[in-house]
Chains A and B, each alone.
Chain A
Amino acid sequence: MKNKICAKREESIISELSTLYRQYGYKRYKPSCFEEYALYQENKDFLIGKNVITFSDLNGELMAMRPDVTLSLIRHSDISDKVTEKYFYNEKVYRQSSGGRNYKEISQIGVEVVGAIDETVVGELTILVCKTLETVSDDYILDVSHMGFTEGLLNEFTSNRNQLSEYLRTKNLHDFYSLAEKEKYPKKLISAFETAVNACGSPQNVLKSAKLAILNSTMRDAVDELTALFEVLDEFDYADKVNINFSATANADYYNGVIFNGYVKNIPHCVLSGGRYDKLIEKFEKDGGAIGFALYLGEIERYLAKDSESIDYLIIYDGKTNLEALKTARKLRSDGASVRISTSISVGQIYKELIDLTEKEADE
């Protein structure tokens, strides 16, 4: 049972989170399972996996099973920079499982805020990210990064962008040094890149060194925004659960502000991700910004508690005692016990007490 990280079942996590999001005034969003394929084709890089399940509908139009909920929400909702809309969803999505070679139905629960986004919205949403991770396990770490800092840094380099972004993502300084030597990067740039790669740990320390690495106004704005965010998190006692990690990046064509990556102890991969994605809203030619996150329930399923196999009573009946079995079970259940009636004991069934109604007959 080493792998069980969380003593809760998937359903109870979903129900706890739905209650939590409603408490914060979020509305449930329920998209259709199908969307025009073009939506995903045009925004391929926004998706986690590139492959989607497609089919022709009755008009011959190419449709897809949704691999993601965010795109549907942005496409179908009215977004304006005057109003803040807050949604949550709890849906199945259809995509390749991480590292798998097959399509999978993956359950995903998440939150999206669209429209007018200010510091308070970002602060409250980050608290909600922490509370979401807390629902899975108390032993969690939230990695926070900022696209402004990483993009601002990478933009200072005139070439090798892809390579540099890969080095940042994998914390690979040794290959960076070789490249820096070859390209004769200035000292200031090298030390700023080092700071970004080595940044991992408590916000206070990291922000201090990040301030020294600022090279332009984009990076300055990012550090200022993170500083303000951590003041809020500190006030709400979440600061010690949060790490700044500039290696956590996202696609710069869509994301532009804070980035979240949630980790839970003993689960080897990221269980929650999200961030600020105003650029996607721009692509849809709507006004306003957006920020959100999703918890990948489907990916952590194996670490959650399973339906218990143990019941209180197992009643075995036969053709003559079936009515008696139903009555006995009703009585026991009314006392709060779990009772299963059956004609035989199934393999692996665990029970506290066995009531065999066929025995009496054998005695007679």
Chain B
Amino acid sequence: MINVALPKGRLGEKVYELLCQIGYRCEEYSKDSRKLIFSDERGEVSYFWVKPSDVAVYVELGAADIGVAGKDILEEYCPDVYELADLKMGKCSMCVAALGDFKDDLSSPLRVATKFVHTAEKYYAEMGRDIEVIKLNGSIELAPVLGISDVIVDIVETGTTLKENNLKVVSKISDISARLIANKSSYKFKNDGILRICEKLKKAVESSD
């Protein structure tokens, strides 16, 4: 039995659909049910849905053998897991954005508002730019508008929210998409099962690409 942690929400539903297509449907599962864990009747897999940012924690601690997490989360928390496949879903990018007339003033530290503190610190450390991080948990776009930060580091999907708030992308840090991750111990003890799911998923992703 392989335990799979999926992210709650649209992405998780899409990944589940894909898993169904490759033969890991769970008859017991219904979208409206309030149950937390669902098992496939053949006993091959069981699913549970958790907050997207928690998937990596469940996998690292072995509650789930495999899971699906955004590359943004993996870059930010650096969990000790294997990253086995790019599912090419939930595509977006991690970007630096600022007000339209922004110019970097190198005489003082750059004030960066973000949810992704580690990602921002790493990015600017590599550039050798001194920064002050302002950790926010949501509505990051507000920070430069209200003047508490010079730039933001955040996920940009379509760019609509940025545009509506007079912000523009200054630079792209990395491309983001959903990744299949595996617990390091499970990878050894359930190697056949995990590799089977992984290979089928990769094929399904390729053919839909």
- Are B185's CB and A170's CB within 8 A? no
The majority secondary structure among interface residues of chain B is: mixed
Q: Within the complex, what minimum Cβ distance (angstroms) separates A251 from chain B?
A: 15
Chain B 140-154 interface mask (CB, 8 Å, partner A; 1/0): 000000000000000
Q: Is B39 an interface residue (CB 8 A)?
A: no
- Are B83's CB and A263's CB within 8 A? no
Q: Which of A158-183 contact B (CB under 8 A)?
A: 170-172, 174-175
Q: How far is the CA of A171 from the CA of B202 in the complex (A)?
A: 14
Total interface residues on B, using CB and 8 Å? 19
Chain B 44-85 interface mask (CB, 8 Å, partner A; 1/0): 000000000000000011100000000000000000111111
Q: Which of B166-209 contact A (CB under 8 A)?
A: 179, 183-189, 191
- Are A268's CB and B83's CB within 8 A? no
- Set of chain B residues within 8 Å of A245, measured between Cβ atoms: 188
- Are A263's CB and B189's CB within 8 A? yes
Assuming A201-B191, A268-B60, A268-B62, is B185 touching A171 (CB within 8 A)? no
Q: Within the complex, what minimum Cβ distance (angstroms) separates B1 from chain A?
A: 13
Q: Within the complex, what minimum Cβ distance (angstroms) separates B192 from chain A?
A: 10
- Are B183's CB and A172's CB within 8 A? no
Q: Within the complex, what minimum Cβ distance (angstroms) separates A169 from chain B?
A: 9
Q: Is B86 an interface residue (CB 8 A)?
A: yes
The majority secondary structure among interface residues of chain A is: loop
- Are B191's CB and A171's CB within 8 A? no
- Are A174's CB and B85's CB within 8 A? yes
Q: Which of A96-111 contact B (CB under 8 A)?
A: 99
- Are B189's CB and A269's CB within 8 A? no
- Set of chain B residues within 8 Å of A200, measured between Cβ atoms: 187-188, 191
Q: How far is the CA of A258 from the CA of B133 in the complex (A)?
A: 41
Residue with the greatest number of chain A CB neighbours at <10 A, chosen from B60, B183, B186, B189: B189
Residue with the greatest number of chain A CB neighbours at <10 A, chosen from B184, B186, B189: B184
Q: Is A265 an interface residue (CB 8 A)?
A: yes
Q: Which residue of B lies closest to A143 (CB)?
A: B188
- Are A141's CB and B184's CB within 8 A? no
Q: How far is the CA of A139 from the CA of B84 in the complex (A)?
A: 25
Q: Which of A137-162 contact B (CB under 8 A)?
A: 139, 141, 143
Q: How far is the CA of A170 from the CA of B78 in the complex (A)?
A: 10
- Set of chain A residues within 8 Å of B187, measured between Cβ atoms: 200
- Set of chain A residues within 8 Å of B184, measured between Cβ atoms: 263, 268-270
Residue with the greatest number of chain B CB neighbours at <10 A, chosen from A201, A265, A267, A268: A268
Q: Which residue of B lies closest to A261 (CB)?
A: B184
Q: Which residue of B lies closest to A248 (CB)?
A: B184
Q: Within the complex, what minimum Cβ distance (angstroms) separates B77 from chain A?
A: 10
- Set of chain B residues within 8 Å of A132, measured between Cβ atoms: none
Shortest Cβ-Cβ A-B pairs, 5 listed: A268-B62, A174-B86, A172-B83, A171-B82, A170-B83
8 contacts between A and B (CB under 8 A): A170-B82, A174-B85, A200-B187, A200-B191, A266-B62, A266-B189, A267-B185, A268-B61
Known: A170-B81, A174-B86, A270-B184. 8 other contacts (CB 8 A): A141-B189, A172-B82, A263-B185, A266-B185, A268-B61, A268-B62, A268-B184, A269-B185
